[in-house]
Amino acid sequence: MLNFAIVGCGHIAKKHAEAIERAEGAALIAVCDTIPENMEFYRNTYNARIYTDYTEMLANKDIDVINICTPSGFHASLAVQGAEAKKHIVVEKPIALLLKDTNAMIDACEQNGVKLAVVHPNRFRPAMKKLKEVIESGKLGKISHVNATVRWNRNQAYYDQAPWRGTKGLDGGVLMNQAIHNLDLMLWMMGGIHEVFSMSATRIRDIEAEDVCTGLVKFTSGALGVIETATTIYPKNFEESLAIFGEKGSIKIGGPTAVNVEHWVVEGTTELETEELMKSIKADPFGKPGHQCIIEDMVEAVHENREPIVTGEDGKKALELVLALYESSENNQPVKMQPQEVLN
């Protein structure tokens, strides 16, 4: 049994608490927040010990893993402090807002012999796992291009809930906050990126960061990609999708939250096989909750002394892509990613 603690008891913390409660081999024993009333739910529901002082909580030797659920701008300092206290770290997306902070987190965990996992739970959805299997099998042949789309609604009331929402220093815009899951999936499926070009704007929401962004990418494989993300869609979430097109097939996973198989044509796969695949995913589109998968994987990673499925380096790659898109948009120039691998 691994004992977990949560720091930051805002909205997303409840998902973590539920995941820990459901996960085999995990228990929630403590929470930390600067506002005492935010923690009453966890004390009453999970009998968790409450702390207003993070350093004091880290001194609790019974805690094995810290789940960081604070605003993104605080992730790095809390993760480094937690690693130095010899606690394993599960951090919400994005891993951090700056590369130097991300590197500090990864280094601190390596130097202190603890695990670092980043919450990108969409990798565990049944349709995405099937798509990953098909790509790795080579059945699609050479990939020509990919389309990643997030057409969501986050109204002004959402941003007005807390002063940090939509800020560049603590939160970020649609790319950093909402679309980073989709970007992680694209990287997971397609590998490294050679070059990006982007345009972004703050068109409708009264926030500091962007509420709409479009981008083009060239992967190190030579394949191309199109990114379209927005929180301006009226009146509610419309679409989140990932579509991949190859010489021997084309697949689109879509719907409001990218769990539905909307198109699946692969050379050598019969219509009956495709129907059965689509039927099985439709019966359970979300599968086991992604946060629960992240928690259970952390438990197994500690016991087996291996890296988590979604590592700090994975989180860093998604952040690097977001920052490159921001740089391109700001300068109105293409940005080459490092390292620049040879294209096929």
Tell me: pLDDT of 326 over 70: yes
Going by C-alpha positions, the residue among 329, 306, 291, 299 that lies closest to residue 19 is 291
Prior bond of 339 cis (ω within 30°) = yes
Please return the burial class of 201, using the count of CB atoms within 10 Å of its CB with bins 0-12, 13-18 and 19+.
middle
Tokens linked to 88: 């394993």
On the CB side of 179, how many CA atoms lie within 13 Å of its CA?
A: 34
- Write down the mean pLDDT value for the chain: 97
Tell me: pLDDT of 287 over 60: yes
Going by C-alpha positions, the residue among 229, 167, 231, 241 that lies closest to residue 198 is 229
Q: What percent of the chain has pLDDT over 70?
A: 98
Q: Per-residue pLDDT averaged across 127-136, rounded?
A: 98
Domains recognised in the chain with CATH numbers = 2-121+291-307 (3.40.50.720), 123-287+319-336 (3.30.360.10)
The pLDDT of residue 343 is: 61
Q: How confident is the model at residue 121 (pLDDT cuts 50, 70, 90)?
A: very high
The pLDDT of residue 320 is: 98
SS3 32: strand
Q: What is the pLDDT of residues 80-93, one digit of tens each?
A: 999 999 999 999 99
| 344/342 Cα distance (integer angstroms) | 7
For the CA atoms of 265, 144, 177, 229, what is the dihedral angle to 10 degrees? -80
Phi then psi for residue 84, to 5 deg, are: -65, -20
pTM above threshold 0.75: yes
Q: How confident is the model at residue 339 (pLDDT cuts 50, 70, 90)?
A: low
The pLDDT of residue 273 is: 96
What is the torsional sign of CA 295, 298, 302, 303?
Answer: positive
| 264/275 Cα distance (integer angstroms) | 9
Tell me: pLDDT of 276 over 70: yes
CB-based contact 312:189 (threshold 8 Å): no
Tokens linked to 265: 């044509």
Instruction: Count other Cβ atoms within 10 Å, centred on residue 12.
Output: 17
Q: Per-residue pLDDT averaged across 26-46, rounded?
A: 98
What is the torsional sign of CA 44, 45, 46, 51?
Answer: negative
Tokens linked to 207: 């926030």
Q: What is the pLDDT of residues 242-255, one digit of tens each?
A: 999 999 999 999 99
| 30 beta partners | 5, 49
SS3 29: strand
Tell me: pLDDT of 344 over 60: no
Q: What is the pLDDT of residues 188-240, one digit of tens each?
A: 999 999 999 999 999 999 999 999 999 999 999 999 999 999 999 999 999 99
Q: How confident is the model at residue 338 (pLDDT cuts 50, 70, 90)?
A: confident
Tell me: pLDDT of 341 over 60: no
Q: Per-residue pLDDT averaged across 9-26, rounded?
A: 97
